[in-house]
Amino acid sequence: MPEGINNKADSFQNPEKGLLPSKKTLIVGYGNPDREDDGVAWYILLKLAHKFDVPIPSGLEVGFIPEGRYFDILFDMQLMPEMAEEMLGYERICFIDAHTGALEADLNWQPIEPIFQNSPLTHHMTPQTVVSILENVYHQKPEAVLVSVRGYQFGFHRRLSERTQALADQAIEKIMVWLLEK
């Protein structure tokens, strides 16, 4: 990890130091928390909310967005076109999802460009498509990134594998630093 990252992240957790995200930001997690590592986004959202004192429901609920903060959270099982309207007004959006090893890096950080992508699956939409809807329908182009965390187990349990949890903790640190970038 580059020098200074832990200091920034630790400072953010201390409200007395007065550090806040400089841009209105939305963190979007998607996946199925009942399918082990596919729930990595839910795990990351819970940890970020706790670290930053963002109120979220105690149980698994989808589609929630706390109002009036620089750092809001949205979670659902999958991305949908109507989510674009909920994303209006955000300067930055961070999408979080699991991947199954198709990506080279176990923890992948990818800037998102607005590109409409057809999907052969009926219930699959990419972050690139959501950002494309924001740009083409609503004339907004937020800075967007996709954080993909490698999943190893996809059984029917509400827990992460040890390897995915370790990667998720690294992702949390990277997201915390990104939140503070000017």
- The answer to whether 7 and 132 have CB atoms below 8 angstroms apart is no
List, edge to edge, every strand of the sheet that includes 71-76.
Answer: 71-76, 25-30, 92-99, 143-150, 107-111
Q: CATH number of the domain at 5-79+93-114+146-180, out of 3.40.50.1450, 3.40.50.300, 3.60.110.10, 2.40.50.180?
A: 3.40.50.1450
pLDDT 10s digits, 114-154: 888 766 554 578 999 999 999 999 999 999 999 999 999 99
pLDDT 10s digits, 88-119: 999 999 999 999 988 899 999 999 998 887 66
Cα→Cα distances 123→105, 118, 119, 120, 133, Å: 25, 11, 8, 9, 17
Q: What is the pTM of this model?
A: 0.85
What are the tokens at 159?
Answer: 């827990």
Domain boundary assignment for the chain: 5-79+93-114+146-180
